[in-house]
Amino acid sequence: MAVWNLGSINADLVYTVPHLPAPGETLAAQELNRYLGGKGANMSVAAARAGSHVHHVGAVGADGAWAVERLLEYGVDTRYIGYSSDPTGHAIIAVEAGGENLIIIYPGANRSLDAHEIWQALGNAQAGDTLIIQNETNAQVETARLGSEIGMRVCYAAAPFDAEAVKSVLPFLDLLILNEVEARQLQEATGSAPADLPVSDVIVTLGSKGAEHFDTKTGENRVYPAVPVTAVDSTGAGDTFTGYVLSGLDRGLPMAQAITMATRAGAIMVTRHGTADVIPDLKDVLEMSQG
């Protein structure tokens, strides 16, 4: 099977700061690093490093050839990434000691995807393939609907969170992944707790506490504890978790095993500085399991 990702691609400009800036504050960064990022690109790289065949559907601007080349180098199929007249998306990310961050995104080409090119790309997908969508591109609802019609496992990572965006794709979803705060916000917007949502599987990530899976078909839920580590940068850890869960499911692992692997991959990720470029591969995750 394969993972298809309607996903953002960003240049991440990561500023190491003594503390996250307060409103109105001017702050000198201690360091600046540039990485490949975007929640979509991060998930594609994570799923590819976890062992899946990944097709990324997205766009960059004329300034984005480096990002496409890097995705290709990381094992992602880039044939369905188009070139837009808008510039490549970018993110300004401040990271303080201890790993907490603050992110501003400029969507650029990520929000000008051509619907026809998406339909053409998904024309090559098969029933049973996995489709992942996040909230950093346009055409989310139409793509989720098409994926559902094809018979794909349709997944949504509700980040950056917007309750209306989640509500619009809900009818087409098989799997929803969101964090604790987002789950509460979604409950306020829909009146439904995670266990009552009309989606077969819901995973709520709990940060340093791990993740909780709700199987809404059986009514069962299970908490997967986090692996204790010393965090230096939480950026991209959620995307890494999502990519690993999807890859696990796509490769036929049971949900419990997919989430356990994803929890370990996310734990390794918070010990590293950077985004897509530093996502752990399966070997790192398996070594952690043995250690």
With contacts defined by CB under 6 A, name the span among 16-24, 121-129, 196-204, 234-242 that binds ligand RIB. 234-242
Query: Looking at 88, 235, 240, 260, which residue binds ligand RIB (CB under 6 A)?
Result: 235
Number of residues that bind ligand RIB (CB under 6 A): 15
CB 75 within 8 A of CB 43: no
Tell me how far, at minimum, the Cβ of 237 lies from ligand RIB, in Å.
8
Question: CA-CA distance, 291 to 274, in Å (whole number)?
Answer: 24
Active site residue 233: no
Tell me how far, at minimum, the Cβ of 12 lies from ligand RIB, in Å.
5
CB 202 within 8 A of CB 176: yes
User: 262: which 2 tokens?
Assistant: 């994803």
Within positions 259 to 278, which residues make up the interface with ligand RIB, using CB under 6 A?
275
SS3 call for 105: strand
Q: Which is nearer to ligand RIB, 146 or 158 (CB)?
A: 158
Complete DSSP assignment for 217-272:
TTTEEEEEPPPP---SB-TTHHHHHHHHHHHHHHTT--HHHHHHHHHHHHHHHTTS
Q: Which residue is nearest to ligand RIB (CB)?
A: 37
SS3 call for 2: coil
Q: Which is nearer to ligand RIB, 236 or 248 (CB)?
A: 236
CB 192 within 8 A of CB 216: no
Tell me how far, at minimum, the Cβ of 137 lies from ligand RIB, in Å.
11
Complete DSSP assignment for 65-100:
HHHHHHHHHTTEE-TTEEE-SSPPEEEEEEEETTB-
Tell me how far, at minimum, the Cβ of 42 lies from ligand RIB, in Å.
5
Nearest to 164 by CA among 202, 190, 197: 190
Question: CA-CA distance, 88 to 8, in Å (whole number)?
Answer: 10
Q: CB within 8 A of 119, min separation 6: which ones?
A: 146
Q: Which of 233, 239, 250, 277 is catalytic?
A: 239
Q: How many other β-carbons are positioned within 10 Å of the β-carbon of residue 53?
A: 17
Query: Looking at 2, 4, 7, 39, which residue binds ligand RIB (CB under 6 A)?
Result: 39
Question: What is the x/- site pattern for ligand RIB, positions 41-70, by CB under 6 A?
Answer: -x----------------------------
Would you count residue 282 as binding ligand RIB (CB under 6 A)? no
With contacts defined by CB under 6 A, name the span among 8-16, 60-68, 145-153, 198-206 that binds ligand RIB. 8-16
Tell me how far, at minimum, the Cβ of 69 lies from ligand RIB, in Å.
17
Query: Looking at 2, 91, 178, 269, which residue binds ligand RIB (CB under 6 A)?
Result: 91
Task: Give contact residues for ligand RIB (rule: CB under 6 A).
Answer: 8, 10, 12, 37-39, 42, 91, 103, 105, 136, 235-236, 239, 275
